[in-house]
Amino acid sequence: MKFDAKTPEGPIASKWTSYKDHINLVNPANKRLIDVIVVGTGLAGGSASATLAELGYNVKAFCYQDSPRRAHSIAAQGGINAAKNYQGDGDSTYRLFYDTVKGGDYRSREANVYRLAEVSANIIDQCVAQGVPFARDYGGLLDNRSFGGVLVSRTFYAKGQTGQQLLLGAYSAMNRQIARGKIAMYNRHEMLDLVVVDGKARGIIARNLVTGEIERHSAHAVVIASGGYGNVYFLSTNAMGSNVTAAWKIHKKGAYFANPCFTQIHPTCIPRSGEYQSKLTLMSESLRNDGRIWVPKNMEDVHAIREGRKKPTDLSEEERDYYLERRYPAFGNLVPRDVASRAAKERCDAGYGVNKTGEAVYLDFKSAIERYGKEQARIHNIENPSHEKIVALGEEVVRAKYGNLFQMYEKIVDEDPYKTPMMIYPATHYTMGGIWVDYDLMTTIPGCYAIGEANFSDHGANRLGASALMQGLADGYFVLPYTIGNYLADDIRTGRISTDLPEFEEAEKQVREKLEFFVNNTGSHSVDHYHKQLGKVMWDKVGMSRNEKGLQEAIDEIKAIREDFWKNVKVPGNMSEMNPELEKAMRVADFLELGELFARDALHRNESCGGHFREEYQTEDGEALRDDKNFAYVAAWEYQGEPSKAVLHKEQLEFKDIELKTRSYK
């Protein structure tokens, strides 16, 4: 099989322009003859659907939710990066490119990342034109804030609900095209297989989740925009329905799966409270701009806090260990996510965790509240303000910036974070691994594309804050619409593709058999029973830190769970109706395969890098130890009947414009 990144020649700054100058175009009259299927309607899928429809293609868009507006992109809180340099603090396309490659621990493809940085500024223009209500300053211009891992203010935001506003922007662009009849929207539909005809992606098999009906849909190209696979851990910050099914199905049909072990652990989640918990909730990383992270210095204070004899506010500055500021003086609380997460785990593993489970550190806003309060008092000419007045004024500022996050925390934990520090702990958040794609965003299956979180290309081994929204929209609005034309230019004479072809029949048969198996199996355990087992193995042995022994065990254990699942799973109801348990069963079946490949990928990568921390590979002071000589490549896995037989292909990464060097935030 061909395995070529197809990176254009020439200097990095002109690759994209020169690519666009030389690709094939499809004339508007011919675009009407071409159908494109888009699976998923989040930031990537929604923006792609809208733009492809606007260009003139016939788009069929699919989502498992009842409306595209519910895609999980909506839950992203913090913001979106763009190299606008509105703040005049030295930002540029190159700097955004540099920060992203370095932040990703040099495991992303330079050309893709440069293009992302290049189009980032257009995204903001586009969204503002669509009526996305970004935060503004008093002069009426756009406001910015800074995020972990960078030294400039390049993040655009809409309070703590940036993802929501950007998604609603993409959704509104879709609505315009749906109204014009250019997008046929299939809500409450799930793609269950890819149909490949003569080596090309030509359609999908989908299930109508309301009626249970199995449907065949043909197209000249298929775009997978189905998001990430973090729910392999059962507990993650992903929406409950987020799944790997679409990506896994194309993997089984020939698309390579790249770097599955690069999964981001986000440092600022609300800690788990018990075994029944169904998912984890993230607190935006933007909180680290104003919050200081600490645990008690003395073990006696840890015990006193856990037993309720002391409150965190009883501890003086001297009794607190602001461990990020201590270890990383240059970046302090704003170190990248992987560094912040590991540092929290290190302190908790050493016994300094501050809640009952020992898995929590404090995120404290006291000094920010006082700082802002004093500033406000000066602005409003209040002489000799009392401490109470300062705190009240400061709380107002913090409320304006993060109010909804504080409110959410209070609801979940039942404590007022204005008065007492928040408790946070790392959790699985975003997957940097995904379907391997070339510069065109095409997978190893011709005519099958993967965009947004579903692909692997832009974030490397770690994702910097506010870069996921940027990639989703860049791929959907500005990259795919060009690159897909280059492929479709050869399809103008193909005509409508029949769904009566034997390939459709065969794919439908396989899907039907699987569904029938589940509803007919006389098992004894629920789907969640298995999903939770898988999640526990993944978190314990393939989680924030991994070692060879644990990974070997995980591979065996996942296989055993999978075997038991296929024997003993119980799915009530039938397949010709709405059946949420059946939907889950199909998804968990895929997670049980992905989990094994994930562990194998982590096992073979004998280095530590970004979200992948192998205990055997660390420096004397516990920092990740990368091995560029042997591992500066993308691990792209080819399916061969089962995960244990997957074949590893390597795409060697070249760093011509950024020198490969040790990442240091000290």
Partner 1 sequence: MDLTLKVWRQAGANDKGALVEYKVTEISDHMSFLEMMDTLNEQLIEQGEEPVAFDHDCREGICGMCSLHINGEPHGPDAGTTTCQLHMRKFKDGDTIYIEPFRARAFPVIKDLVVDRSAFDRIQHAGGYISVNTSGNTQDANAIPVPKVDADKAFDAATCIGCGACVAACKNASAMLFVSAKISQFALLPQGKVEAAERAQNMVSQMDKEGFGNCTNTGACEAECPKGISLENIARMNREYLSASLGSE
Closest distance between partner 1 and the C-beta of residue 93, in Å?
15
- Angle, vertex CA 16, rays to CA 12 and CA 20, nearest 5: 150
Q: Which of 67, 313, 498, 619 binds partner 1 (CB under 8 A)?
A: 67
Q: Which of 30, 54, 98, 512 binds partner 1 (CB under 8 A)?
A: 54
Q: Which of 3, 18, 66, 560 binds partner 1 (CB under 8 A)?
A: 66
CA dist 359 and 608 (Å) reads 23
For residue 62, give the 3-state DSSP assignment.
strand
Residues in 346-375 that interact with partner 1 by CB under 8 A: none
Which of 66, 89 has the CB closer to partner 1?
66
Residues in 140-179 that interact with partner 1 by CB under 8 A: 140-142, 158-159, 161, 164-165, 168, 171-173, 175-176, 178-179
Residues in 517-556 that interact with partner 1 by CB under 8 A: 526, 528
Q: Which of 282, 422, 448, 464 binds partner 1 (CB under 8 A)?
A: 282
Give yes or no for residue 273 binding partner 1 (CB under 8 A): yes
Place of tokens 């591979």: 555
Closest distance between partner 1 and the C-beta of residue 544, in Å?
22
Closest distance between partner 1 and the C-beta of residue 138, in Å?
5
For residue 426, give the 3-state DSSP assignment.
strand
Closest distance between partner 1 and the C-beta of residue 174, in Å?
8
On the CB side of 292, how many CA atoms lie within 13 Å of its CA? 18
CA dist 306 and 124 (Å) reads 46
Residues 6+ apart with CB under 8 A from 606: 614, 616, 617, 627, 630, 631
Give yes or no for residue 244 binding partner 1 (CB under 8 A): no
The answer to whether residues 48 and 481 touch, using CB atoms and an 8 Å cutoff, is: yes
Give yes or no for residue 662 binding partner 1 (CB under 8 A): no
Give yes or no for residue 187 binding partner 1 (CB under 8 A): yes
The answer to whether residues 49 and 147 touch, using CB atoms and an 8 Å cutoff, is: no
Place of tokens 């995980």: 554
Closest distance between partner 1 and the C-beta of residue 274, in Å?
6
The answer to whether residues 270 and 469 touch, using CB atoms and an 8 Å cutoff, is: no
Closest distance between partner 1 and the C-beta of residue 207, in Å?
15
Residues in 75-104 that interact with partner 1 by CB under 8 A: 75, 84, 86
Residues in 101-140 that interact with partner 1 by CB under 8 A: 119, 122-131, 133-140
Closest distance between partner 1 and the C-beta of residue 622, in Å?
32
Closest distance between partner 1 and the C-beta of residue 540, in Å?
22
Residues 6+ apart with CB under 8 A from 294: 320, 321, 322, 323, 361, 362, 364, 421
CA dist 158 and 351 (Å) reads 38
- At 547, the amino acid letter reads N
The answer to whether residues 535 and 233 touch, using CB atoms and an 8 Å cutoff, is: yes
Identify which of 540, 518, 520 has the alpha carbon closest to the alpha carbon of residue 590: 518
Q: Which of 18, 24, 277, 644 binds partner 1 (CB under 8 A)?
A: 277
Which of 70, 546 has the CB closer to partner 1?
70
Give yes or no for residue 226 binding partner 1 (CB under 8 A): no
Closest distance between partner 1 and the C-beta of residue 74, in Å?
5
HEC-encoded secondary structure of 184-202: EEECCEEEEEEEEECCEEE
Residues in 408-447 that interact with partner 1 by CB under 8 A: 408, 411-412, 414
Q: Where are the alpha helices (DSSP H) in 543-639?
A: 548-568, 580-604, 628-631
Which of 127, 246 has the CB closer to partner 1?
127
For residue 429, give the 3-state DSSP assignment.
strand
Number of residues that bind partner 1 (CB under 8 A): 80
| Active-site annotation, residues | 337
Which of 5, 53 has the CB closer to partner 1?
53
Q: Which of 396, 503, 564, 581 binds partner 1 (CB under 8 A)?
A: 581
Which backbone phi and psi does 233 adopt, to 5 degrees?
A: -85, 5
- Using only C-alpha atoms, what is the Rg of the chain? 25
Which of 132, 450 has the CB closer to partner 1?
132
CA dist 550 and 163 (Å) reads 36
State the maximum Cα–Cα separation within the chain, in Å, rounded to a whole number.
Answer: 82
Tokens coding 399: 């409320």
User: What residues does 428 pair with on adjacent strands?
Assistant: 265
Q: Which of 15, 70, 102, 463 binds partner 1 (CB under 8 A)?
A: 70
Give yes or no for residue 286 binding partner 1 (CB under 8 A): no
**Piece of the chain touching partner 1 by CB under 8 A; list 10-18, 268-276, 386-394, 422-430:** 268-276
Which of 294, 591 has the CB closer to partner 1?
591
User: What residues does 263 pair with on adjacent strands?
Assistant: 431
Residues in 381-410 that interact with partner 1 by CB under 8 A: 407-408
**Piece of the chain touching partner 1 by CB under 8 A; list 237-245, 361-369, 461-469, 538-546:** 237-245
Which of 78, 254 has the CB closer to partner 1?
78
Which backbone phi and psi does 444 adopt, to 5 degrees?
A: -75, 0
Burial of 75 (0-12, 13-18, 19+ CB in 10 A): middle
Give yes or no for residue 278 binding partner 1 (CB under 8 A): yes
Give yes or no for residue 72 binding partner 1 (CB under 8 A): yes
User: What residues does 117 pair with on adjacent strands?
Assistant: none
Give yes or no for residue 664 binding partner 1 (CB under 8 A): no
Give yes or no for residue 274 binding partner 1 (CB under 8 A): yes
Which of 12, 280 has the CB closer to partner 1?
280
On the CB side of 12, how many CA atoms lie within 13 Å of its CA? 19
For residue 324, give the 3-state DSSP assignment.
helix
Give yes or no for residue 23 binding partner 1 (CB under 8 A): no
**Piece of the chain touching partner 1 by CB under 8 A; list 12-20, 239-247, 309-317, 553-561:** 239-247
Closest distance between partner 1 and the C-beta of residue 528, in Å?
7
β-pairing, 292-296 vs 361-364, is antiparallel
Which of 72, 587 has the CB closer to partner 1?
72
Tokens coding 154: 């390049």
Q: Which of 69, 217, 347, 562 binds partner 1 (CB under 8 A)?
A: 69
Residues in 192-221 that interact with partner 1 by CB under 8 A: 210
Which of 280, 602 has the CB closer to partner 1?
280
Which of 108, 126 has the CB closer to partner 1?
126
Which of 158, 599 has the CB closer to partner 1?
158
Identify which of 415, 419, 392 has the alpha carbon closest to the alpha carbon of residue 313: 419
CA dist 222 and 99 (Å) reads 32
